[in-house]
Structure 1
């Protein structure tokens, strides 16, 4: 199929499109969600499917009841959906996890040798290896130089695994996976990819690219129901100690010893998240059913519109490499003279626009870029031209006349003062609290003199 011509509308329907939120001046507006990279909204079809699953929900794998067998079939069929979605090899194994972080924790426990990674990784693909004492290679000023450095490092001292991001959660830049796979394989290493930001935005083909392991999260892939996945070569996962000891991961138990099942059951102890897995599988099928090129074209159009609009305001998006092969649907930037947290608070309080600010669980990368914190706008299948234009209009107003409300910073970040917005009635209607628990740790405090 050929891709349809670009329209200003959403590519697929998502839940919450018509949500309305309060503003600090007492008004109300449609919520503009430009925070897809943190957690994407559920596809409408995924939410509908979850309702169907809940009506037939039962425990899986060990039940003779009809609904138990239905849910077992549903759960195992989800592996086939993931296998197809990522172009996995016939002998690859799909292990369901909680999210990308969990998947990398599993892979780190199963990797039978040293790993090499770059210092640009999200903490999900940095901290498990750092804890093991594996090698972290500093990225170079260009992608070409970085790949040369990676090859030189593997030539100097071989490793079992190279692990990289498929698309940066800070800059959106993609990495050339077939090239990196070739480098790794030439030196006897396997390649693992953090696909959290890649899977929602670009087709993935493990067999075609040579990627050995891939991890991604349902909550990034329009299925925010608590499931993630690790997919890849079976042998390491079959040989590894069970990731979680418990029922369902065994073939036989005595008081003296346990015989563990092979993967995937080996690493899926306990009652699994059937609903989350079903949602993830449905999202994979919905995205795979889009016309060829439609998703890439949709995001490219929105991203170019945003980048061009920012340039007109004198704002330059953050970028790691001048020679990177394109980017997915997210843009991070800073506004001269205004702290990132204050920009995000202003966009929310005065315009009803949701973005992300901070260090994005990628501290070394932010340090490399030389910024203490940034603002990130991200979008996907539910985003529209109107969403991008509303952000650009709000940033233009900030540049032209500043904020129209007072803001203050504390350890929880920036917030309007006074905060007039309240929680929705279904959550008690109490005043909106500024309390947060950033994954980044303490919020960077603005230097003296910055308003």
Structure 2
């Protein structure tokens, strides 16, 4: 193992976090003994909270009260915090003056909302490389064409242009960055093709906005959906931002208080968007958290985030390529400037076992499975799943090296202890580590809760 690690080509990468996050110094127990600082290379699933976000929520919590209808002082303060957060999120994604920002639970909620707003009889075009959050809502509504992803960016854009020329579509749904490889089609090209054919564009921004600057106004895209839990604000709020007309004409996303102007026993007069789609008591603290994250990322120098992640990705790619039997996944060999999400396979090894070994023996968290992108994993020739490492604002070169060293150790000698499958997940056969211990949680319950081998948006 030592020789493999020492012979690995070294690519310079940041040695310090770009922004501090909660839990960065968390120690986790190892097998067979000892502890190590937890290395979180699973930020594509969910990010930790920024320290600035947690501090802002702590400040807002004593001021929390009901919003929009209270005459008391704290209600007015909470209402101002909530509506100010909406404006901050809209500004963060470069919303135009007449765009609307609906605060939702997450990207999945946002895309399901938009799917219900597409006018009846209109068709939607989506690629088969999408996360399930940007595939299933369109499949369910009907009138959807799922376009096969080409082997290159050029081929995929040609296929998109041909599909738009062959049929009429109201909307093109496209990922801003793949949650499997970090790659994306050039947004300007997609928007140009769609708009020339009379179609709108929605960008699944879950894996884009935490990693790159984005502007609706500059890109010309019509909508963007995002999640706070991918954006260092894991407090249960996301957003759909974009053109107003469909949102004002559609049925309320969640019928209830706050979404109406007037109700009688015979009929209801609905409010305009965004309130039309925000029935019930809103998640004020989630909105505050999301806005704080947007402010923190927006305050970074223009290219700082991209440079931080690009250097870490380069170090990770070079290190993976130097390990025998490790193969990185790519959608398009001609794609450029991917985000810090890298998926790979280890020849002859179950991805779940490798992930379990990295966690139990090295304190490194990666994702294994099919990443809620089953059609894409099948297209990439790994329908059984793969491994994914993803970096973020708190990732350092030392974190990447911990993963590479753990993989080198696995390749050199296999697991240091025996493992077994319990409830569909690999675990140490005789696990001496204590249960999680928080509110009665236990590691077995975590394993039993495993879903699609990815993460919800």
* Cα shift at 1:174: 2.2
Q: Which residue of 2 aligns with 1:436?
A: 448
Could you give the per-residue CA deviations for residues 22-59 of structure 1, whole angstroms, max 9, x where no partner exists? 11212111111111000000000100111111111001
Q: What is the aligned residue count?
A: 438
Contact in 1 for aligned 2:177/2:207 (Cα 8 Å)? yes
Secondary structure in 2 aligned to 1:316? strand
Distance 1:425 1:249 in 2: 40
Candidates 11, 16, 22, aligned match of 1:15: 22
Q: Which residue of 1 aligns with 2:136?
A: 127
Candidates 28, 33, 39, aligned match of 2:40: 33
* Cα shift at 1:433: 4.8
Distance 2:83 2:440 in 1: 40
Distance 1:243 1:194 in 2: 19
1:377 aligned onto 2:384 = no
Q: Which residue of 2 aligns with 1:341?
A: 352
* Cα shift at 1:10: 0.2
Contact in 2 for aligned 1:103/1:228 (Cα 8 Å)? yes
* Cα shift at 1:295: 0.5
1:170 aligned onto 2:173 = no
* Cα shift at 1:316: 2.7
Distance 2:108 2:443 in 1: 33
Output aligned runs, 1:72-221, within 5 Å: 72-112=79-119, 113-133=122-142, 134-221=144-231
**Gap change, CA 1:429 and 1:87, over 3 Å in 2:** closer
Q: Which residue of 2 aligns with 1:421?
A: 433
1:227 aligned onto 2:237 = yes
Candidates 243, 250, 253, aligned match of 2:260: 250
Q: Which residue of 2 aligns with 1:368?
A: 379
The unaligned stretches of length 5 or more in structure 2 are: 1-11
Distance 1:430 1:229 in 2: 32
Query: 234-243 or 75-84: which moved more?
Result: 75-84
Secondary structure in 1 aligned to 2:346? coil
Q: Which residue of 1 aligns with 2:400?
A: 388
Distance 2:294 2:453 in 1: 33
Distance 1:256 1:218 in 2: 38
Contact in 2 for aligned 1:242/1:267 (Cα 8 Å)? yes
Distance 1:431 1:129 in 2: 35
Query: 270-279 or 133-142: which moved more?
Result: 133-142
TM-score, length basis structure 2: 0.94
Q: Which residue of 2 aligns with 1:59?
A: 66
Secondary structure in 2 aligned to 1:388? helix
* Cα shift at 1:379: 1.1
1:297 aligned onto 2:284 = no
Contact in 2 for aligned 1:408/1:415 (Cα 8 Å)? yes
Secondary structure in 2 aligned to 1:36? coil
Moved over 4 A (4+): 428-434
Distance 1:431 1:360 in 2: 21
The RMSD of aligned alpha carbons is: 1.5
Q: Which residue of 2 aligns with 1:259?
A: 269
Candidates 366, 386, 411, aligned match of 1:355: 366
Distance 1:331 1:10 in 2: 19
**Gap change, CA 1:408 and 1:142, over 3 Å in 2:** same
Contact in 1 for aligned 2:313/2:340 (Cα 8 Å)? yes
**Gap change, CA 1:18 and 1:64, over 3 Å in 2:** same
* Cα shift at 1:20: 0.6
Distance 1:279 1:428 in 2: 27
